[in-house]
């Protein structure tokens, strides 16, 4: 079979006028085709959760429109556009999505929320393998971001009145995701996700040299601790869950040194989470860390995701966070569904648990 058109490259994507982030706007026929695929998944196996259909989803992903697959394939292989991209006009209808959840134990029941999860897993399967973490919300694959009463001032995705400091997702974890995918379901007040790519940050030669050295510490964030999970979702009783939380505790008690930058100097990988990085560093390391923090602060973009807009963050080359907002807790607050995607699932051999076999430790 010959291709009737020249495959596009992700490097050619235009920038969104509002925030400058490269974006791909689906045509209405492409959006309708994605809706048909996602609805077919939900219809064929109504009694099987999406987490139980991961292999099937990875096969059905090849039915995604070729133009969309081409863009994501280029992004996967080259990393361009460096940092991330937005896909818009995805088939999500806020009006029938149901109320925004209010607790981690809430399970969205609407078909629209289920379709959003299917879309995330379909498109995520074109980049790599969707995964979860055993120490976060009982290893749930599709996570929901929304404000929770009592979390207002914490450095958590469920906070609201505090600025959620920018970070690489799960920067402390040896198996942190390569990509984070955020799909908007509701955002009445256009609350922005903050975003910055390492490619845009100018650093002095000295700071760059120091940041490539293993002179820094990144501790686990609270969402992975045993106490937090016990309070919010409850804990499963099993040896491997116990070992997973013991491992997190060990990372806090005996942290390992790591570099902030790694990989190719011309397009380095980034591993940083300032809110969970102790500052008892030697003077050179402290100065280098502050320089990159200042550089990222100066280049942050505000990306407000409307319903049907998906931000794909290259978790090795970009950071993200969230601006503060006032939560209403009335079912109409900001609501985003999220997944983590690993480029190579074989890296996690021997560290995969859970019913779906992809909850990492």
Q: Output the CA torsion sign for 325, 329, 335, 341.
A: positive
In angstroms, the CA 190 to CA 36 distance is: 28
Annotated binding residue 169: yes
- Residue 29 phi, psi dihedral angles, 5° rounding: -65, -40
Residue 280 CB neighbour total at 10 angstroms: 7
The crossing angle, in degrees rounded to 10, of helices 28-44 and 111-124 is: 110
Residue 196 CB neighbour total at 10 angstroms: 22
In angstroms, the CA 24 to CA 289 distance is: 34
Locate 28 and state its tokens: 């209405």
Annotated binding residue 153: no
Query: Comparing C-alpha atoms, which of 161, 184, 228, 192 is closest to residue 338?
Result: 184
Please name the helix (run of DSSP H) or strand (run of DSSP E) that holds residue 340, with its range, or none: strand 335-342
DSSP line for 169-204: TTTT-TT--SEEEEEEEE-TT-PEEEEEEGGG----
Q: Is the bond preceding 44 in cis, omega lying within 30 degrees of 0?
A: no
Give the three-state DSSP class for 81. Answer: coil
**Which residue is it, tokens 């009006």?**
95
In angstroms, the CA 290 to CA 288 distance is: 5
**Which residue is it, tokens 């609350």?**
191
Locate 356 and state its tokens: 């779906």
Query: Comparing C-alpha atoms, which of 68, 33, 57 is closest to residue 122?
Result: 57
Pairing status of strand 192-197 against strand 318-322: antiparallel
List residues forming the annotated binding site: 167, 169
List residues forming the annotated binding site for Fe cation: 167, 169
């Amino acid at each position: 079979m010959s291709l009737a058109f020249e495959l596009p490259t992700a490097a050619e994507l235009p920038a969104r006028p509002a925030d400058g982030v490269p974006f791909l706007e689906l045509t209405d026929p492409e959006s309708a085709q994605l809706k048909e695929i996602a609805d077919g998944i939900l219809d064929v196996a109504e009694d099987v959760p999406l987490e139980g259909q991961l292999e099937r989803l990875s096969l059905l992903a090849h039915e995604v429109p070729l133009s969309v697959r081409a863009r994501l394939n280029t992004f996967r292989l080259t990393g361009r556009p460096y940092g991330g991209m937005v896909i818009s006009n995805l088939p999500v209808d806020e009006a029938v999505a149901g109320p925004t959840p209010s607790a981690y134990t809430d399970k969205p029941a609407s078909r629209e929320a289920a379709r959003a999860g299917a879309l995330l897993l379909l498109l995520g399967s074109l980049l790599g393998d969707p995964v979860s973490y055993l120490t976060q919300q009982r290893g749930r694959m599709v996570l929901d971001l929304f404000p929770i009463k009592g979390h207002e001032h914490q450095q958590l995705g469920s906070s609201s009145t505090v600025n959620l400091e920018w970070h690489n997702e799960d920067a402390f974890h040896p198996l942190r995701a390569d990509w984070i995918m955020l799909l908007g379901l509701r955002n009445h007040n256009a609350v922005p996700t903050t975003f910055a790519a390492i490619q845009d940050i100018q650093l002095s030669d000295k700071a760059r040299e120091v940041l490539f050295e293993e002179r820094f510490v990144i501790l686990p964030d609270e969402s992975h601790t045993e106490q937090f999970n016990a309070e919010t979702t409850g804990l499963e009783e099993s040896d491997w869950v116990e070992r997973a939380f013991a491992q997190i505790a060990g990372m806090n008690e005996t942290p390992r040194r790591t570099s902030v930058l790694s990989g190719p100097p011309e397009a380095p990988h980034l591993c940083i989470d300032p809110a969970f990085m102790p500052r008892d560093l030697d003077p050179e390391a402290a100065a280098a860390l502050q320089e990159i923090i200042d550089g990222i602060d100066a280049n942050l973009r505000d990306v407000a995701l409307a319903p049907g807009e998906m931000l794909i963050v290259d978790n090795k080359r970009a950071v993200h966070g969230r601006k503060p907002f006032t939560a209403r807790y009335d079912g109409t607050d900001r609501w985003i569904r999220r997944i983590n995607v690993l480029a190579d699932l074989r890296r996690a051999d021997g560290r995969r648990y859970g019913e779906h076999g992809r909850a990492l430790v």
